[in-house]
Chains A and B, each alone.
Chain A
Amino acid sequence: MRRDWIYACLLLSPAMVILVGFTHIPAIETIINSFFSTGRGRRVPEFIGTDNYATLLADPVFIKALKNNLIYAAVTIPASIILALMMAVFVNEKLRGRALLRMAFFTPTVLPLIAVANIWMFFYTPGFGLIDQIRGLFDLPAQNWVGQTDTVLYTMIAVATWKEAGFFMIFYLAALQTIPMPLREAAALEGASRWYFFRRVTLPLIMPTTLFVSVNAVINSVRLIDHIFVMTEGGPNNASKLLLFYVYEVAFQYWDTAYAATLTVVILGILCALAIAQFFFLDRRVHYK
């Protein structure tokens, strides 16, 4: 019995060392740092209690970034999931050039986000970018969506959705192929419409995939910010600033590491709450075999 316990510890230790060293200790240190001031040069960090949190609540840029991130998540998550499901159902059918279509849908996932951002920069360029060249054919005026505070966030959302949908499609495609053929035949015999079959059979059966995909989508809505660096740097006037980008800016451009730690703690808290909620509430509606 005792031997088993040692054995288990030995087996777990490599993973534990990495997890504790690179995830848990840094997370705890971040929380500790958020209660100190930033040390600069000869001034050492001092314990300042919850001052950083008070600054955070009064920081208009943080509030703006939080709002932006909520909109960003509220649109990219459902949009990329629905798009992924539609594409998966489409390329699951027997049709000519299916492999080519699947590859086409998956391409955005293979491309690094930085490259994607550069491609989209060209799409959006006012006057002579792709979108304006097409709009020009219909005598529409040039747009400057990336340069306008009320549209820039949605241009970022479009890039993220385009990038993510292909990745999620792969999971849905795999899930769709596990649906047994007899179910489809039985439904056909009963005279169920395709929409009815999709709603009552397919959708419930791929629920575990939906859960997995949606957890990933939530994480990505905070994590995927590479295109912001290339396309807008959070501007104009913070209109496309997302939380993680703001953390980077505060930590590595303003060098205010304590405040960056405070921001990180808040993001960590939000993500933990979301993950727990997703597993508790969504799990009840998921049928595992």
Chain B
Amino acid sequence: MLTNFFKTSTTAAALALATSVPAFAVDLEFYFPVAVGGAAADTIEALTSEYAAANPDVNIEAIYAGSYTDASTKAVTAARGGNAPQLSVLLSTEMFTLIDEDLIEPFDTYLTEAEKSEWIDGFFPAFMQNSQTGGNTWGIPFQRSTPVMYWNKEAFAKAGLNPDVAPANWDELLNAATALTEKDDAGNVTQWGLRIPSAGFPYWLFQGLSTPAGAILANADGNKTNFDDPKVVRALQFLVDLSKSHGVMAEGSIDWGATPKAFFEGESAIIWTSTGNLTNIRINAPFDFGVGFLPADERFGAPTGGGNFYLFKDSSEEQKDAAVDFVQWITAPEQAAKWSIATGYVAPRADAWETDAMKAYVEEVPAALITRDHLEHAVAELSTYENARVTSFLNDALAAAIAGEKTPKEALAEAQAQAEAVLSSYR
């Protein structure tokens, strides 16, 4: 209320003085979530103050808003209360929801044609799939990731596999995982061949199976899903069989958080997880490990993940201009490289990988290149209108199939019917 009053009064004052005072400071608020530990928050603060020092006419306040879920709860609640931040980093998959809530504005309005072609087109196309719809750019990729496969080279050598070659397709993956699964005398598994975490949001890594199988889960307009595509069913059957028929992966839903730890402890020899864990695994794995693409079936493929910048509607034109300028600056090559090195997120533009800092980093951590090259095969993360609800239908179906309560076909058909009921009104 009070800040609103100040905002209106400053705007009024700005209008009154516009002719006499040329540069009037613009206040920007910017919410950011932190999904990975440590350096992320500090790096954002550092980058923001660097920008503020170079642009004295802009006061920018970076506000840490918790997890992705917390951040979007805060941003939407604040926006509904008439107190929206100008910018927020939120999940790229929230695009349709935010459009539906009428809270955000496309970036295009505030860009010249030259900026559009130079800046917008400079981002990796895989990241733009979750950022554009209906010919507009609603999100600017920032903290983006993609899942990759990590494998324990020591365990590979011990199992008689070539430790320098990753399983490249589903058959090789299954063979390797079978060779890697070890049991003790009592018949209890001491090392699982493979770990694909499925607790919480199973749809994400499942897209690492359904995409190679040749399926795309939702259309680009975000109003139709293909959960019951036979290719999706086949991908789910493969996932279920890993535990139920082949016994190379633990049964039941598998926790995300403990996955890197399971890798360090030798509980699992191959894991799938986000590129965001690269730094963590590099520091803590007591053995040599490899990083590779998710194995191919019909094709290579994986979803992208992570967060985009969104521009909120409810601000003055000056604020929006300044906000767009800030986003352009923070995604510029030097800043993007700094951010990527500090956090492990994939630098979202090709030119960021050409900077000296990034080249030196790649020299030191060649695995970072894998994460970039994986993008060539990456597709949009599942995103639709009423995203959280529609995604929960798929999550429930996956969990039911993994638990053995339903067959993959039944579960996915049901999820598709539920999604249809919600999405048909958006066509």
Contact = CB atoms under 8 A, between A and B. Distances in A.
Given A126-B250, A149-B399, A235-B399, A40 B188 contact: no
A238 interface: yes
Interface string A238-251: 11000000000100
Interface string B258-271: 10011001010000
Give the contact-size bracket for chain B.
35 or more
B129 interface: no
Interface stretch (B10-18, B204-212, B376-384, B388-396): B388-396
B405 A149 contact: yes
A279 interface: no
A26 interface: no
A233 B200 contact: yes
Contacts of B365: none
Contacts of A45: none
A236 B200 CA distance: 7
B222 to A, nearest CB: 14
A41 interface: yes
A255 B101 contact: yes
Contacts of A256: 389
Contacts of A237: 396, 399-400, 403, 405
B402 A236 contact: yes
A93 interface: no
Contacts of A235: 199-200, 253, 395, 399
B69 A236 contact: no
A155 to B, nearest CB: 12
Nearest to A230: B257
Contacts of B102: 40-42
Contact of B251 (A61, A144, A146): A144
Contacts of A141: 186-189
A235 B199 CA distance: 7
A144 B252 contact: yes
B73 interface: yes
Contact of B69 (A128, A239, A253): A253
A78 to B, nearest CB: 28
A148 interface: yes
12 contacts: A121-B258, A127-B262, A127-B265, A141-B189, A146-B199, A146-B253, A147-B252, A147-B255, A233-B199, A236-B198, A236-B402, A237-B399
Interface of A: 40-42, 61, 121, 125-128, 139-142, 144, 146-150, 232-233, 235-239, 249, 252-256
Interface of B: 69, 73, 76-77, 97, 99-103, 184, 186-189, 198-200, 250-255, 257-258, 261-262, 265, 267, 386, 388-389, 392, 395-396, 399-400, 402-403, 405
